[in-house]
């Protein structure tokens, strides 16, 4: 299985498939926000950004998936983004499961000064919903529970791809491929 994942990570169409899944999830989030009038909370916005990080990893890898360094950079960004998304989804479930006036999410979205996404695209990156509410359900699970499943899946796949490259490094003649 590791050999299969390593070989897949060298092919553009699999990275395109990763990007396609991210675009689908992002468009679903925008549909829920603007068409279904589901007001996202701060943690929802941050989870969207984590998905965007995975998408950026896919874009980096699709440039030249056969080059080892580019591929590994993309996989590392993918692992980091999936991990951060998992932690954010876990935090949101904790807030929803244990409502408390002391356990809340931020009041305002806080992006770095060098990339103020909420100022550039307020319709997409402004979260005004309450993190403690769990109103959206799909197939008997809340959206935050689905996000745990999604980020866990992304994290598991990315770690397996990373391991497939690390374990194969010793056998490789050219370290750049």
Q: Is residue 126 part of a domain?
A: no
125 part of a folded domain = no
Looking at 8, 12, 41, 76, which residue is catalytic? Answer: 41
Predicted local distance difference test score (pLDDT) of residue 132: 66
Query: Does the residue 117 lie in any domain?
Result: no
As a whole number of angstroms, the distance between CA 130 and CA 148 comes to 18
- Number of separate domains in the chain: 1
Catalytic residue list contains 76: no
151 within domain boundaries: yes
Residues spanned by the domain of 14: 2-93+136-169
Q: Which of 6, 49, 71, 131 is catalytic?
A: 131
Of the candidates 46, 68, 70, the one whose C-alpha atom is nearest the C-alpha of residue 151 is: 46
Q: Catalytic residue at 105?
A: yes
Give the closest residue to 79 by CA, choosing from 177, 4, 170, 153: 153
Q: How far apart are CA 23 and CA 45, in angstroms?
A: 15
Annotated active-site residue in 8, 12, 44, 172: 44
Answer yes or no: is 109 within a domain. Answer: no
In 10 A of CB 168, how many CB atoms? 13
Q: Residue 82 sits in a domain of what CATH number?
A: 1.20.1550.10
- On whether residue 26 sits in a domain, the answer given is yes
Radius of gyration of the chain (CA): 18
Active-site annotation holder among 6, 49, 71, 105: 105
H or E element in which residue 138 lies: strand 137-138
Q: Is 48 a catalytic site residue?
A: yes
Q: At what angle do helices 68-97 and 42-63 cross, to 10 degrees?
A: 170
pLDDT in tens, 77-122: 999 999 999 999 988 888 878 777 666 777 677 777 787 776 777 6
Q: Would residue 41 show up in a list of annotated catalytic residues for this protein?
A: yes
Residue 172 has pLDDT above 60, yes or no: no
Query: Is residue 46 over pLDDT 80?
Result: yes
Q: Is residue 19 part of a domain?
A: yes
To the query of whether residue 44 is one of the catalytic residues in this protein, the response is yes
């Amino acid at each position: 299985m590791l050999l299969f994942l390593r070989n897949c990570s060298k092919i553009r169409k699999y990275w395109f498939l990763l990007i396609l899944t991210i675009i689908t999830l992002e468009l679903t989030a925008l549909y829920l926000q603007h068409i279904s009038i589901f007001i996202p909370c701060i943690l929802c916005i941050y989870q969207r950004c984590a998905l965007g990080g995975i998408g950026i990893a896919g874009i980096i890898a699709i440039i030249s998936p056969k080059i080892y360094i580019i591929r590994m950079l993309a996989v590392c960004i993918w692992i980091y983004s999936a991990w951060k998304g998992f932690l954010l989804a876990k935090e949101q479930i904790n807030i929803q499961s244990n409502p408390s006036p002391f356990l809340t999410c931020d009041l305002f979205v806080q992006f770095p000064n060098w990339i103020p996404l909420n100022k550039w695209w307020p319709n997409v990156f402004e979260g005004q919903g309450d993190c403690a509410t769990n109103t959206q359900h799909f197939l008997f699970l809340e959206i935050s529970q689905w996000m745990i499943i999604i980020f866990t899946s992304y994290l598991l796949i990315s770690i397996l791809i990373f391991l497939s490259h690390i374990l194969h490094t010793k056998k490789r003649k050219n370290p750049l491929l």
